[in-house]
Amino acid sequence: MSVDHPIFTRWPARYPDRLQLFSAPTPNGVKVGIMLEESGLAYEPHRIDIMANESHDPAFLALNPNGKIPAIYDPQGPGEKPLALFESGAILIYLADKSGRFLSPDPAARYETIQWVMWQMGGVGPMFGQLGFFHKFAGREYADKRPRDRYAAESARLLGVLDDRLATRPWVMGDDYSIADISLLGWVRNLIGFYGAADIVGFERFAHVQRWLDAGLARPGVQRGLEVTAG
């Protein structure tokens, strides 16, 4: 099978019949690596060096005009036609439908799961990311700590929402591990690990989140997915 997309002028496909992943080991990027490893779909990974601004290479912009990872190209998309897709939440839903895994076919449970993915996309990701900037990166040099404290407080509030949700169930959707969990694992891991923000959000208060995170990180598919584009 040949592939006909500008992305392959920069990142050639060795296995053009497989789904192609273009990503980096960020909290958004690892979602798709985890999902692919957990679902068992055949794929070929390509690391995008965001520190070298590769996500703004014209070839990548032809795949994702927003210039952000992750993105995928599926040569065997709906109707056996190629599909290019960006936005990690949309990709998770697509891969769940393609594989028939980690998203309930029951309409009510399906939409409730998507609801939690959207909660991660619209709340957890932006807030944790801003806290990372103001706590770990250049923002920590700002004399005015009000922005950092604002994002720390909102991140703690969101962790409280997740902790309450997990108080009576092992996974976000109950007994079944789902794309809701996959969407969140990398962000919570990053918050207390790479960002070093456990103390500032009082992470020790969220015992249910810690238990859930430990269980998620113990999954072999998660462990493999975290390393997909780690270099």
For residue range 194-211, list pLDDT tens digits in order.
Answer: 999 999 999 999 999 999
The domain of 152 spans 107-223
Q: 228 in a domain, yes or no?
A: no
- The pLDDT value recorded for residue 1 is 46
Question: 101, 132, 167 — which closes off a domain?
Answer: 101
Between the two ends of the chain, the Cα-to-Cα distance in Å is 27
Please give the model's pTM, rounded to 2 decimal places.
0.96
Q: 184 in a domain, yes or no?
A: yes
Statement to judge: residues 94 and 185 lie in one domain: no
Residue 146 is part of a domain; what is its CATH number? 1.20.1050.10
Statement to judge: residues 64 and 116 lie in one domain: no
Q: Encoding tokens for residue 135? A: 């706590």
Q: What is the mean pLDDT of residues 157-168?
A: 98
- Amino acid found at 47: R
Question: 45, 72, 101 — which closes off a domain?
Answer: 101
Q: Which of 117, 114, 196, 115 is nearest to 155 (CA)?
A: 196
Q: 140 in a domain, yes or no?
A: yes
Provide φ and ψ at 72, rounded to 5°.
-135, 160
- The pLDDT value recorded for residue 230 is 86
| pLDDT at residue 2 tops 70 | no
As a whole number of angstroms, the distance between CA 168 and CA 172 comes to: 10
Q: Which of 228, 230, 172, 231 is nearest to 36 (CA)?
A: 228
Question: What's the whole-number average pLDDT of the chain?
Answer: 96
Statement to judge: residues 113 and 219 lie in one domain: yes
Statement to judge: residues 118 and 211 lie in one domain: yes
Statement to judge: residues 111 and 217 lie in one domain: yes
Give pLDDT tens digits for 55-90: 999 999 999 999 999 999 999 999 999 999 999 999
- The pLDDT value recorded for residue 140 is 85
Statement to judge: residues 114 and 219 lie in one domain: yes
How many domains is the chain partitioned into structurally?
A: 2
Q: 115 in a domain, yes or no?
A: yes
